[in-house]
Chains A and B, each alone.
Chain A
Amino acid sequence: GDSVTQTEGLVTVTEGLPVKLNCTYQTTYLTIAFFWYVQYLNEAPQVLLKSSTDNKRTEHQGFHATLHKSSSSFHLQKSSAQLSDSALYYCALMGYGSSGNKLIFGIGTLLSVKP
């Protein structure tokens, strides 16, 4: 079946250091797109990044991700973590098919940035 696997649990990083949240996937859909959603404490999930182009870097708010279909990955990275980046991050696969489209979420990774 279709699934999204994320770095599990909690990732702790020191402010100013780089951070990488892993996301890999398995899918039978031929046409796909990817989203990274971010959920700050007591807020709604919102889109941080989105991409449907293989090997093209997408950037927003200092974060970047590149869809690599060859390795089935869409990792999220930032060169210098900020305290305000502490949040829950979801990787999500959008599959486009003749029987309907479907959004599949990973289980989420909690990022904690420490001073």
Chain B
Amino acid sequence: EAAVTQSPRSKVAVTGGKVTLSCHQTNNHDYMYWYRQDTGHGLRLIHYSYVADSTEKGDIPDGYKASRPSQENFSLILELASLSQTAVYFCASSDDRGREQYFGPGTRLTVL
């Protein structure tokens, strides 16, 4: 069964601080994605990657960086966290960008 895990599951950060969210998948999928979830906006794509050591911008990349050091791992980095980045973040993977995406359990980030 598809397995995408995220860490931490929740985090409180201070404005201006650096935050790193991690994602690990055991699906042997090439594609990995980072979304943020906000009420009234649904799921919005931040960054994605289809191969290790390469990332692509999604629809809302400003204020976020991504890193894909291996096929299994994909990180989302907030260099200078801001209040507006308070949200739930989901990682997902798929074997092709046109195929079903499998989501992780999410990370609830609160920036104070």
Q: Which residues of A contact B (CB under 8 A)?
A: 33, 35, 42-47, 50, 90, 94, 96, 100-103, 105-108
Of B37-45, B64-72, B79-87, the one touching chain A? B37-45
Please list 30 pairs of residues, one from A and one from B, whose beta carbons are closer than 8 Å in the complex, sorted by A's number: A33-B98, A35-B100, A42-B105, A43-B105, A44-B90, A44-B103, A44-B104, A44-B105, A44-B106, A45-B43, A45-B90, A45-B103, A90-B42, A90-B43, A94-B98, A96-B98, A100-B97, A101-B96, A101-B98, A102-B97, A103-B97, A103-B101, A105-B42, A105-B43, A105-B44, A106-B42, A107-B40, A107-B41, A108-B42, A108-B43
What mask results when residues 28 to 58 of chain B are scored 1 for a CB within 8 Å of chain A, else 0?
0000000000001111110000000000000
B4 within 8 A of A: yes
Given A90-B42, A90-B43, A105-B42, A47-B98 contact (CB < 8 Å): no
Main secondary structure of the interface of B (DSSP, over half): loop
Contacts of A100 in B (CB 8 A): 97
Give, as a whole number of angstroms, the nearest-CB distance from A93 to chain B: 12
Q: Determine the distance from Cα of A103 to Cα of B94 in the docked complex, in whole angstroms.
A: 11
Give, as a whole number of angstroms, the nearest-CB distance from B110 to chain A: 16
Number of B residues with CB within 8 Å of any CB on chain A:
18
Q: Determine the distance from Cα of A44 to Cα of B33 in the docked complex, in whole angstroms.
A: 14
Contacts of B96 in A (CB 8 A): 101
Which B-chain residue is minimally distant from A95 (CB atoms)? B98
Q: Determine the distance from Cα of A50 to Cα of B105 in the docked complex, in whole angstroms.
A: 21
* Cβ contact of A46, chosen from B44, B103, B106, cutoff 8 A: B103
Cβ A44 vs Cβ B4 within 8 A: yes
Cβ A50 vs Cβ B42 within 8 A: no
